[in-house]
Amino acid sequence: MTQGVLYVVATPIGNLEDISLRATRQLSEVTLILAEDTRHTQNLLHHLNVRTPLSALHDHNEAAQVQSILQKLQAGDDLALVSDAGTPLISDPGYRLVRAALEAGIRVSPVPGACAMVAALSVAGVASDRFAFEGFLPAKTVARRSRLAQLRLETRTLVFYEAPHRVLETLQDMWEVMGARELTLCRELTKTFETVRKGVLSDILLWVQQDTQQQRGEIVLVLAGAAPETADDQENNLRILYVLLDELPLRQAVDLAVRLTGCRKKWLYDAALARGKRDD
């Protein structure tokens, strides 16, 4: 018997006209659509006049559902996987299913389309021949700052997803940990209040602080990577700090590193924590 195909179908990130002709056809031809939130996807299907049944597949039931979905595919059913918006698996559920399908020898086929990360990069006006997609930063301040400290030497453009209620804190942390850099804030892309604002990090931070409207909706932050020469200097400074951390308690090591490198104490302290050194 011929096995079915698992189609991984991108859906719009706001503007429903961004659905592709192929996505619409595929969604109407499959036996079942696996959706992160069936009610949400039902609205899209209604708009497209597609009547295919839906079944929920989200982070909380994915592991439990995988076997029964594989059985359907093995029995010859073609299925589609969608998320609430954009491309499934990009900061969205589905990788367990896709992996299990590949391991079972089932064909997995992409139906590409909208993705907030790519849409943001396409209008950010930054070098994007190489970039690093970081998805969501940790929600807790210490973990977020630590992740940012680990990324300080990254010279590629960095792309982050962020929730509106955290954007201000995140920009504040980026400013304190990464220093002066260019940033493009991309908000509500493809929607009525679409905003793309590029500037130095401190200016964008001030603007978001002053205009609370900018703390709403869906946001992608595109941050310039470290300048290569800064990265070299910082790498040397970190090497000095790490040697000191191997020999001394945290605070003493940081104090000495401040004197040896001239770097800001907070910067060195965060770097020490990011390396896993505990405060004493």
Binding of residue 134 to ligand SAM (CB under 6 A): no
Binding of residue 137 to ligand SAM (CB under 6 A): no
Query: What is the token pair recorded at 163?
Result: 């929730």
| Cα–Cα distance for residue pair 55/213, rounded to 1 Å | 36
Positive/negative CA dihedral, 246, 250, 253, 259: positive
Binding of residue 168 to ligand SAM (CB under 6 A): no
| Cα–Cα distance for residue pair 42/47, rounded to 1 Å | 9
Report the residue number, 41 or 234, with the smaller CB distance to ligand SAM. Answer: 41
Phi, psi dihedral angles at 198 (to 5 degrees) = -115, 140
Indicate the DSSP class of residue 20. Answer: -
Cβ 182 to ligand SAM, closest distance in Å? 18
Here's the x/- map for ligand SAM, 63-82, by CB under 6 A: it reads as --------------------
Q: Which of 32, 48, 56, 90 binds ligand SAM (CB under 6 A)?
A: 90
Q: Which of 13, 23, 244, 263 binds ligand SAM (CB under 6 A)?
A: 13
Q: Which of 5, 8, 14, 126 binds ligand SAM (CB under 6 A)?
A: 14
Q: Which of 77, 154, 176, 188 binds ligand SAM (CB under 6 A)?
A: 188
Binding of residue 116 to ligand SAM (CB under 6 A): yes
Binding of residue 162 to ligand SAM (CB under 6 A): yes
Q: Which of 30, 50, 208, 220 binds ligand SAM (CB under 6 A)?
A: 220
| Cα–Cα distance for residue pair 229/235, rounded to 1 Å | 10
Binding of residue 189 to ligand SAM (CB under 6 A): yes
Query: What is the token pair recorded at 276?
Result: 């896993």
Identify which of 1, 5, 3 has the alpha carbon closest to the alpha carbon of residue 107. Answer: 5
SS3 60: coil
Cβ 44 to ligand SAM, closest distance in Å? 14
Angle between helices 265-274 and 228-247 (to 10 degrees): 70
Binding of residue 5 to ligand SAM (CB under 6 A): no
Q: Give the 3-state secondary structure of 123-143.
A: HHCCCCCCEEEEEECCCCHHH
The stretch near ligand SAM (CB under 6 A) out of 146-154, 172-180, 189-197, 244-252 is 189-197
Binding of residue 176 to ligand SAM (CB under 6 A): no
Q: Strand 157-162's sheet: what is its strand order?
A: 131-136, 157-162, 219-223, 182-187, 195-200
Cβ 226 to ligand SAM, closest distance in Å? 23
Residues engaged in binding ligand SAM (CB under 6 A): 13-14, 83, 85-87, 90-92, 115-117, 161-163, 186-191, 218-220
